Amino acid sequence: MVVSYMVMPSLINRAYDARRKADLQKIKTYLESYYSDAGTYPRELPNCGQPLEFNQKVVSPIIPCDPVSNEPYVYHTKGGEPQSFQVYTLLTYDQDESIKLVGCEGGCGPDCIYNYGISSTNAGLVRCSYVCAPGGGKLGDCELFNDPSMSQCPKLYGRDSTCNLECGNVNNRCKNASGKNIPN
């Protein structure tokens, strides 16, 4: 069997993406186990390759990290004793059906740069999309919003930073700017 050299990188990238998705599921399982013992999620995850512990009990043997960069996955919580979490990554194959299933076609997470993630059952992912901003009486601009539902945006444009040139139509504009993206 002859395998094209053009196909190999695509297959390798998809294998890395499968690993990333499996890693996030493992992390979710570890975090739920931690919560079961602690009544809260950890404020931070340990470094890659280190165990997750609570009261000297090992909850997970190791916290996985990205298979290519060896960097930790992005872990996000709120508050002093977190009651929810999100974990994000960037899949290499941007046509992966999982991206659409989790609603990250327009980006997710901090600064909207991730395209896949998982969360605790009581919190969703921060999903981003380009929308027609309200405009304050002027022509509405196409802008990135972290949470378009907060702004009652009638139409989402995913990663289309032009909003299909439809922002001149007032019916396509968000009601307010509550869910606007505020970069870190």
pLDDT at 180: 83
Please check whether residues 98 and 26 belong to one and the same domain: yes
Q: Give the separation between CA 168 and CA 99, rounded to whole angstroms.
A: 30
Q: Are residues 25 and 91 in the same domain?
A: yes
C-alpha–C-alpha distance, residues 92 and 83, integer Å: 30
Do 74 and 11 share a domain, yes or no?
yes
Whether residues 15 and 100 fall in one domain: yes
Whether pLDDT at 22 is above 60 = yes
The boundaries of the domain holding residue 151 are: 129-172
Q: Is residue 146 part of a domain?
A: yes
Is residue 153 in a domain? Answer: yes
> Residues with Cβ < 8 Å from 46, sequence gap 6 or more?
52, 53, 63
pLDDT, tens digit, for every residue of 56-103?
Answer: 999 999 999 999 999 999 999 988 899 999 999 999 998 899 999 998
What pLDDT is recorded for position 7?
59
Give how many domains the chain has, as a whole number.
Answer: 2
What pLDDT digit, counting tens, does each position of 131-143 carry?
A: 999 876 677 789 8
Same domain, 39 and 93: yes
- Residues 65, 11 share a domain: yes
Q: Please, what is the Cα angle at 145 between 142 and 148, to 5 degrees?
A: 105
- How open is the CA angle 27-48-92, to the nearest 5 degrees? 70
* 110, part of any domain: no
Residues 98 and 167 in one domain: no
